[in-house]
Amino acid sequence: MVDLVQKAVEEAREYLYPNSKSNSTSSDLNSTNRESNDISLCTWNALGPSYTLSSLLKWLRTLLSPQNTSRDLIESFKRGGVLLDDGWQDTESFGGREGGSTWNDQLRGLKSFGVREGWFDLEEEFEGDRSEEGWELRECVKRVKGMGIEKIGVWITITG
């Protein structure tokens, strides 16, 4: 873990201060082919904690449209990837924190390893095998990759 953190720090220094002599000389960290300039997209920041698959796909179509976004930025989005952050998970609220009743004040925990009810809202368009566990996320990844996005990350938390 320490090596990973050290590499992350060295990469950040190289990116921010490319001409500094104190940067690592590791070929991995100084590669001119690195992806540090690509922009990754995060559902949490853009769509909030309760997005659906249809809202994700609509958002991506808007961002990847040449009418809305420059070709260079579109390519950067495609290389940078998408993080499906939280909102897709099947969690259950089981109390509140002191001071409020908003979604952020609720204590939540993982209810199952499937998606939350209503997240996969394109069922009429899906003709695959629904008996396999995780079919909803596999179908989501297939659709997002079909838009040309190379990497898809999935946020998973056990305690909500």
Q: Which amino acid is at 148?
A: G
C-alpha distance from residue 14 to each of 2, 4, 6, 23 (Å): 18, 15, 12, 6
Tell me the pLDDT band of 1, cut-offs 50, 70 and 90: very low
Task: Answer yes or no: do 70 and 117 share one domain.
Answer: yes
> pLDDT category, 119, cuts 50, 70, 90?
very high
Burial 118-145 (b: 16+ CB within 10 A, else e): ebbeeeeeeeeeeeeeebbbebbbebbe
Residue 35 has pLDDT above 50, yes or no: no
In a domain, 98, yes or no: yes
**Position 81 pLDDT exceeds 50:** yes
pLDDT recorded at residue 103: 55
Range of the domain at 100: 38-154
Asked if 4 and 68 sit in the same domain, the reply is no
pTM for this prediction: 0.69
Count of structural domains within the chain = 2
Decide if 119 is inside a domain.
yes
